Structure 1
Amino acid sequence: MIFLQNGTLRVEIADPGEHPNDGVRFDRAGFITDVVLNNEIHFCGSENKNNIHKTTHGRGLCCEYKMDASSEADIGERYPKLGVGLVLKEKEGRYHFTEKYDIEYFPVEVQSADTWAQFVTKAVLCCGYAAEQIKRVSIEDNTLTVEYELKNVGEKEIVTDEYCHNFINIDGYAMSDDYILETPMMKDFGNDQVISKYTDAPSKLKACGKGFTFSDVNKDIILQDMDIEGTSAELPFVWKLRNKAAQASILAEDLYTPSALCIWTTDHVICPEFMHSISIKPGETCKWYRKMTFIDEEEDQ
């Protein structure tokens, strides 16, 4: 475990291969398992173990690349899962994040000091794809910054969605209407219960203008893709998640315009997932960052 500390923030990062950073889904570089403000307020939670699907042990600010190259490998061959490693294709069908796979992990070089850690994921050519990633996690005062650099050193163009899962729980508070997700750079979503795209019935997710809240304490899983047409292209893209009862919040800045917004929640975590669509030709590099400022609103009053 890597600990970054500066007297205001403490950030906990699981080393590659250390649980929960030992699966086949999440980027193994910079797997942030907790953020603690003023040695008191925790901001990270875990994926629950009683999902409708097998748990993938997501936690905190873990990230994922969604490129699926399984169709480009024959049975008995390997294909790349960006950020993770080379997956052995043992049967027909697409990669699925809940399955267990034989995997050869990409090498990750790690350096760290008191207030920063850097992770270099080495490239391994497979199916014509190869990418080197440099991820740097740093803290200053009450702000966490994660900088990303993805270089295509392979033979084929890399086209993928990348996102942070944001398994967020503020100060231990269960899901309720105390949680408010503010999206000031997106359209006005109205003030009605959001209709589930899966059941065509009202969900527990409620629009509140340029943002969302929840109608009551929610024990059901919500998975909702939102229509984000009209989102401002101004950078950085800003969003905020706060809990009124905890009097604490996260103010986030992303150096990309989200291509999609998926909101996944259960009784104890909210996961606002702002997708980053990436296309990188061989020899090209894509750079972006995410910043989160962790706020004790009671202290700021």
Structure 2
Amino acid sequence: MRNLYLLYITAISVALSTLSSAADLRHAPQAVISNGFVTAKVWLPDPAKGFYRGTRFDWSGVISSLRYQGHEYFGSWKDSVEPHNEIVGPVESFTANNKVLGYKEAKVGETFVRIGVGLCEKPDEEKYQWQRVYKIVDPSKWTIKQDNNWIEFTHNLSDGKGYAYRYTKRLTLTQGKAELVLSHSLTNMGERQIDTEVFNHNFFVIDGRPSGPEFEVSFPFPLTATRADLKGRIAIKDNTIHYPKVMTKGMDGMIGTGLTGFSTKAADNAFQIVNKKTGAGVRAKIDQPLSKLFFWTMENTICPEPFIYMQIKPGATHRWNTEYTFFVQPAAQ
């Protein structure tokens, strides 16, 4: 009986802890921007209270909600309430062939650089593991500026070993349009060249509708999947990804594949997602050529993942823009 009582108390404690964590995340610092057409809620970087405090993704520009004409485009796609793993919205990560700045040469216990995160401690592991949450030794300083229809984040970091940068991301809801623009600049303030690749995971959650036959995802070129077996979860015809059926719930139902067929032209770095039942859709384009393209999806999120590569010499700046246009078309009967 005593063991059952202890199990009962433990279960209650875990449940209360989870509810407390969820409440803490719901009250994490955020800002609201609007242009009268589109309204977006944006989580703010904060090493102590931020919604996301992990080490895989850039902390800036994470959107908890974006609404246009009564339709929702982002939001939570899993049940997690843990701030080191929870992430939503259009979110970016900097790696190059699963390598990050300063990791290889750092000794165990020394730091390496995660752009948009801070200086992290290297554990006793030879290779960087993207799925691991690393100890953040120094989150460095974020500066945030805001007006009615835009918000801007700037992150300054130096590792004292030759890597240093100033990274700025501005989210602008264009006046008079159903449009969001992510404007980026990454300036090399150090002595070592910055070689990296940035990708946007996107994490679209449109109207909370399950990934299935309601959705189509299209690109400006004919697609070829690098994965041979798509398990019947998605299908590709010409330049469009279809869902033969509603996806199975949970992480076991997810599917991902690389996509090829794109050229070196920036015009190929674009995609469209539309829900044929609700009519809600989004078009995206990035003003840089693709270096890679990946597609990942599960029951409640759709993620085209465009990659761009950059080599930034000391003193130089790399700039790139991502433009989202939101629309609502007549729903299919």
Query: TM over 0.5: same fold?
Result: yes
Q: Which amino acid aligns with 1:37?
A: Y
Distance 2:74 2:160 in 1: 34
Distance 2:89 2:296 in 1: 13
Distance 2:108 2:264 in 1: 44
Give 1:154-165 correspondences, 5 Å limit: 154-165=190-201
Which residue among 228, 232, 238 is the counterpart of 1:209?
238
Q: Give the conservation status (yes or no) of the 8 Å contact 2:112–2:159.
A: no
Which residue among 61, 66, 71 is the counterpart of 1:30?
61
Q: Give the conservation status (yes or no) of the 8 Å contact 1:195–1:202.
A: no
Distance 1:246 1:160 in 2: 38
Q: Give the conservation status (yes or no) of the 8 Å contact 1:236–1:256.
A: no
Q: Tell me what 1:279 maps to.
A: 311
Indicate yes or no: 2:263 matched with 1:227. Answer: no
Indicate yes or no: 2:117 matched with 1:84. Answer: yes
Distance 1:43 1:6 in 2: 16
Secondary structure of the residue that 2:125 maps to in structure 1? coil
Report the CA distance between 1:234 and its aligned residue: 4.4
Which residue among 299, 311, 331 is the counterpart of 1:267?
299
Report the CA distance between 1:95 and its aligned residue: 2.6
Distance 1:127 1:266, change over 3 A: farther
Distance 1:237 1:262 in 2: 12
Give 1:48-63 correspondences, 5 Å limit: 48-49=78-79, 56-63=85-92
Q: Tell me what 2:21 maps to.
A: none
Distance 1:232 1:95, change over 3 A: closer
Report the CA distance between 1:262 and its aligned residue: 0.7
Q: TM-score, normalised by structure 2?
A: 0.80
Distance 1:49 1:223 in 2: 20
Which residue among 171, 174, 187 is the counterpart of 1:137?
171
Q: TM-score, normalised by structure 1?
A: 0.88
Distance 1:46 1:97, change over 3 A: farther
Q: Deviations over 1:235-293 (max 9, x none)?
A: 48332111101101001121111111111111000110010111111111101100101
Q: Tell me what 1:254 maps to.
A: 286
Q: Which amino acid aligns with 1:268?
A: N
Q: Tell me what 1:3 maps to.
A: 32
Q: Tell me what 1:44 maps to.
A: 74
Indicate yes or no: 2:291 matched with 1:291. Answer: no
Distance 2:75 2:64 in 1: 8
Give 1:145-224 correspondences, 5 Å limit: 145-184=181-220, 186=221, 188-189=222-223, 196-197=227-228, 200=229, 202-219=231-248, 220-224=253-257
Alignment length (residue pairs): 287
Give 1:5-24 correspondences, 5 Å limit: 5-17=34-46, 18-24=49-55
Q: Which amino acid aligns with 1:118?
A: E
Q: Deviations over 1:79-119 (max 9, x none)?
A: 11111100011322323233232202121100101101111
Q: Deviations over 1:134-165 (max 9, x none)?
A: 11111022100110010111121111110111
Let me know the Cα RMSD of the aligned residues.
Answer: 2.2
Which residue among 83, 93, 99 is the counterpart of 1:64?
93
Distance 1:19 1:175 in 2: 29
Unpaired stretches in structure 2, ≥5 consecutive residues: 1-29
Q: Which has the higher contact order (CA 8 A, sep 6+)?
A: 1
Unpaired stretches in structure 1, ≥5 consecutive residues: none
Q: Which amino acid aligns with 1:290?
A: T
Distance 2:36 2:133 in 1: 40
Higher-helix-fraction structure: 2
Q: Tell me what 2:147 maps to.
A: 113
Distance 1:248 1:232 in 2: 30
